[in-house]
């Protein structure tokens, strides 16, 4: 039973929940049953069929409706006298500004992506509102408390980025199935169904690749009267046959590698698929034509079944035909979506055919979807446990029991007979550019990089700013906002296309930039260091940002896959005598069988997080006493 003090704190609290998915459903229910009476929920998503196995507030009849609204209505049925307000909106929308956040006593996150988490973290810092962060991935989970000036903020420690692979590995020398998935998803699918103007050369990096670029352009161009099946076979023969033969012409590449095998449609498929499988009218179309699939017409029912080369080839051709027959209006604008059944079927088939060519083990549709979507399947009980822990920490925050705050980890395997690992929070990281205002260092070629490169690749992609403002000294180089007049917008757009060294206030070696986001009320300094050359494979962006955090050293690489290639962030345990002398207690417990230090993967739909190994917590920097 809650004490009188706890009940008073709970009843008088105004709580903001961000996210009404796997964790959010459990959290809203637990808040309501714990006595909270003023709850606000923000979620931009609508309910999908795949949510129903664990997001228990939703039913089949709710598919397509707002998660926030349906969750609110469901809870009000058994707690009709409390106030719950729902917002079917993006938390990054302008109306959810610092003033909006200031009205709440605590913010509880159940978000599904790093970008939104960073945004909420910054707004909570600016509004000086406590944040309880959370996430789950499979059987793992964690809850962390972030209080401005007392504990580290969400961004005090670097979050692993999804694994990127060298272009030459993807296009020429794949060795893992994930390489084939990346090729099928980001190159082939994008080339066939995405933006035709994007730079996407599907020819292998061979000696004659330059001369074949025009041929490649002709291959992917489909004339109006060209038969769809013949077009599909032409694409098949080009990417799995001609391109492989072109790659084999470079003998040097294959001296120490297994040589791939060119595959042509005539060697795998019958002359006419229409006679064998019927027309595209026999495809599976369900839920008001929203789901299109080739599997029923090919007699494929089990997504966990391993398809052979012939079956993959049939799926490849039939899926391509269906895109042109049923979804022609979307072609040219499509991007891969793990919830798009036809897209998953096409990418699985293409990846498997390429894997067959390169002697890589094939994978089922179920496995391929997991890799393509970075999926670890969600566990409802983990969400329930984490939701309960969030409420426990929220009550501590409301009572201002700073000494009792805990970061709690949910483990998959018991450690010293424990599955829940409570740990004292970290102090703010003095090297954090978000909460400690430490300057960043940007290495960049100021003569070859444009302001647009800086804005897109650094300010937006890495720093997560939505409405950036960039100043060099007293000169305003770039700004975004609805209150700008046409002349200002034209000037800033013109600046975007100028090289850094040619701007009205030139950015050169030693320049210091001020970058702000007025919505997030975040400002940071970037010191520019001119650098002539960059390694195209290791530094493909042509610029390097450092100074995100200087406390733990990172040694390892992160991978956005679900086949034992999840991101790892190995923390250096030898970070100085100060660290060693101020190690935090692990509640007298230290796990012995949890090998991965940090995982950053996406669960089945919307329960995504970074899960840190609590074993590594004792090796991090300064702890809160």
Catalytic residues: 168
CB under 8 Å to 465, separation ≥6 — which residues?
459, 515, 516, 517, 520, 522
What CA–CA distance (Å, rounded) separates 222 from 229?
11
What CA–CA distance (Å, rounded) separates 559 from 590?
26
What CA–CA distance (Å, rounded) separates 549 from 438?
9
What CA–CA distance (Å, rounded) separates 520 from 121?
9
What is the enclosing helix (H) or strand (E) of 492?
helix 486-496
**550 burial via Cβ count (<10 Å: 0-12, 13-18, 19+):** middle
Asked if 461 and 442 count as a contact pair (C-beta separation under 8 A), the reply is no
What CA–CA distance (Å, rounded) separates 57 from 260?
50
What CA–CA distance (Å, rounded) separates 616 from 251?
46
The tokens of 487 are what? 């002349």
Handedness of CA 310, 312, 314, 317 (dihedral sign): negative
* Beta-carbon-side half-sphere exposure of residue 62 (alpha carbons within 13 Å): 21
The tokens of 201 are what? 């050369």
What CA–CA distance (Å, rounded) separates 153 from 148?
7
Among 424, 513, 439, which Cα is nearest to 477's?
A: 513
Q: Count CB-CB contacts under 10 A for residue 415.
A: 19
Q: What angle do CA 354, 356, 357 make, to 5 degrees?
A: 65
What CA–CA distance (Å, rounded) separates 17 from 607?
15
Asked if 189 and 330 count as a contact pair (C-beta separation under 8 A), the reply is no
The tokens of 580 are what? 């060693």
Helix (H, G, I), strand (E, B) or coil at 339: coil
Asked if 590 and 617 count as a contact pair (C-beta separation under 8 A), the reply is no
DSSP string, 71-96: HHHHHHHH-TTSEEEEE-S-TTSTTS
Among 169, 264, 194, 224, which Cα is nearest to 540's?
A: 169
Among 382, 392, 388, 383, which Cα is nearest to 412's?
A: 382
Per DSSP, helices labelled H in 327-460 are 341-357, 365-372, 380-399, 451-453
What is the enclosing helix (H) or strand (E) of 612?
strand 609-612
Asked if 25 and 388 count as a contact pair (C-beta separation under 8 A), the reply is no
């Amino acid at each position: 039973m809650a004490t009188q003090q706890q009940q008073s704190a709970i009843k008088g609290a105004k709580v903001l929940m961000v996210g009404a998915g796997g964790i959010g459903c459990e959290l809203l229910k637990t808040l309501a049953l714990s006595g909270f009476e003023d709850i606000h929920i923000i979620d931009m998503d609508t309910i999908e069929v795949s949510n129903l196995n664990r997001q228990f507030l939703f039913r089949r009849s709710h598919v397509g409706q707002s998660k926030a609204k349906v969750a609110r209505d469901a809870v009000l049925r058994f707690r009709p006298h409390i106030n719950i307000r729902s917002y079917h909106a993006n938390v990054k929308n302008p109306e959810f500004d610092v003033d909006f956040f200031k009205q709440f006593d605590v913010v509880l996150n159940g978000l599904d992506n790093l970008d939104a988490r960073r945004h909420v973290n910054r707004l909570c810092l600016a509004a000086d509102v406590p944040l309880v962060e959370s996430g789950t991935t499979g059987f793992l989970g964690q809850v962390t408390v972030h209080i401005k000036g007392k504990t580290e903020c969400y961004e005090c420690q670097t979050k692993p980025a999804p694994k990127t692979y060298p272009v030459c590995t993807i296009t020429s020398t794949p060795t893992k199935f994930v390489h084939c998935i990346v090729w099928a998803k980001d190159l082939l699918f994008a080339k066939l169904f995405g933006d035709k103007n994007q730079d996407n050369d599907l020819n292998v990096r061979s000696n004659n690749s330059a001369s074949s670029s025009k041929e490649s352009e002709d291959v992917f161009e489909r004339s109006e009267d060209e038969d769809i099946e013949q077009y599909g076979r032409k694409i098949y023969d080009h990417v799995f046959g001609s391109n492989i033969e072109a790659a084999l012409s470079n003998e040097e590449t294959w001296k120490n590698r297994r040589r791939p095998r060119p595959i042509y449609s005539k060697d795998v498929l019958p002359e006419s698929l229409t006679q064998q499988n019927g027309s595209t009218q026999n495809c599976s179309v369900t839920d008001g034509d929203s789901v299109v699939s080739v599997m029923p017409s090919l007699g494929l029912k089990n997504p966990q079944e391993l398809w052979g080369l012939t079956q993959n080839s049939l799926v490849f051709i039939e899926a391509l035909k269906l895109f042109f027959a049923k979804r022609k209006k979307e072609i040219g604008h499509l991007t891969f979506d793990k919830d798009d059944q036809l897209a998953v079927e096409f990418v699985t088939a293409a990846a498997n055919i390429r894997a067959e060519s390169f002697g890589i083990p094939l994978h089922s549709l179920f496995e391929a979807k997991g890799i393509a979507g970075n999926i670890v399947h969600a566990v409802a009980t983990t969400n329930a446990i984490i939701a309960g822990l969030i409420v426990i920490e929220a009550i501590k925050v409301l009572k201002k029991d700073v000494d009792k705050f805990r970061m709690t980890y949910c483990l998959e395997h018991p450690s010293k007979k424990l599955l829940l690992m409570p740990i004292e929070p970290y102090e703010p990281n003095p090297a954090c550019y978000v909460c400690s205002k430490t300057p960043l260092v940007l290495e960049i070629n100021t003569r070859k990089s444009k302001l647009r490169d800086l804005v897109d690749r650094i300010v937006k992609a890495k720093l997560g700013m939505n409405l950036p403002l960039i100043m060099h000294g007293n000169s305003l180089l770039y700004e975004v906002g609805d209150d700008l007049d046409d002349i200002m917008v034209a000037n800033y757009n013109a600046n975007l296309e100028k090289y850094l060294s040619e701007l009205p206030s030139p950015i050169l070696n030693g320049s210091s930039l001020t970058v702000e986001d007025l919505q997030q009320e975040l400002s940071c300094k970037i010191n520019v260091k001119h650098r002539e050359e960059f390694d195209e494979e290791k530094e493909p962006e042509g610029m390097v940002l450092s100074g995100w955090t200087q406390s733990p050293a990172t040694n390892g690489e992160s991978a956005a896959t679900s086949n034992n290639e999840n991101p790892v962030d190995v923390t250096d345990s030898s970070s100085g005598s100060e660290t060693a002398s101020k190690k935090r207690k692990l509640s007298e417990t230290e796990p012995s069988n949890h090998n991965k230090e940090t995982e950053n993967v996406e669960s089945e739909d919307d329960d995504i997080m970074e899960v840190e190994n609590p074993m590594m917590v004792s090796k991090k920097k300064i702890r809160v006493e």
